[in-house]
Amino acid sequence: DAGVTQSPTHLIKTRGQQVTLRCSPKSGHDTVSWYQQALGQGPQFIFQYYEEEERQRGNFPDRFSGHQFPNYSSELNVNALLLGDSALYLCASSPENTEAFFGQGTRLTVV
Amino acid sequence: AQKITQTQPGMFVQEKEAVTLDCTYDTSDPSYGLFWYKQPSSGEMIFLIYQGSYDQQNATEGRYSLNFQKARKSANLVISASQLGDSAMYFCAMRESNDYKLSFGAGTTVTVRA
């Protein structure tokens, strides 16, 4: 049984560019959440998707947007990248609102 | 306001010994869940243990146990018989009943010495 998978694992982008990160949830999980983890800090909640709708959003600007597909997979899009967007982006899935299982993350570097 | 506080940035422990990682939390919600995750250098967050606010007994999962002191708003993780593979960052997190997100602490780095 595959766990949560994220792609790509590493990414380097230039300031002002746009990026799309992808997440496939664990089998049977219908809820996907995205977190941003800056170096040396705990993860910060970006948003959660359930039934293809954004159910809750954290304190992140509109440059951060997402999507959930009918197969429950999800994308995180970040527009107009800033140097401060450099971080590890973690996707988590869960069957409804139970314990979250995380992927290995996408390490984004903005130069 | 910070909901989860982990005051120990780093800890060293000898192999085969036990280590306690501190976590205090702040909430006015009577119903909440507390979680501990392990994050090795690879980056993946690994779920370790869960404690519900109404659970009567402290949670245990193998070598992990949670020392839950509700009145003190404390949820310390105890790792018994430490192994070299336990070296990682450990995060305490909370989810309140009216919330879908996990709120994480700043983490504690554990280094196990042979």
Q: A102, A106, A108: best mutation site toward chain B, by most B Cβ within 10 Å?
A: A102
Please, are residues A45 and B103 in contact by the beta-carbon 8 Å criterion? Answer: yes
Judged against a pLDDT cut of 80, whether residue B2 lies above it is answered with: no
CA distance to partner chain A, nearest, from residue B46 (Å): 7
Q: Give residue B53's pLDDT.
A: 95
Contact A102 B37 (CB under 8 A): yes
**Above 70 in pLDDT, residue B76?**
yes
The band of B1, judged by pLDDT with boundaries at 50, 70 and 90, is: low
Determine, for residues A88 and B43 on separate chains, whether the beta-carbon distance falls below 8 Å: yes
**Contact of A29 with A93, CB cutoff 8 Å:** yes
**For B78-109, how does the pLDDT look when each residue is reduced to its tens digit (9 = 90+)?**
999 999 999 999 999 999 998 899 999 999 99
Nearest in space to A7 (alpha carbons), one of A17, A21, A19? A21
Which tens digit of pLDDT belongs to each residue from B36-45? Answer: 999 999 889 9
Q: What is the pLDDT of residues A46-98, one digit of tens each?
A: 999 999 999 999 999 999 999 999 999 999 999 999 999 999 999 999 986 67
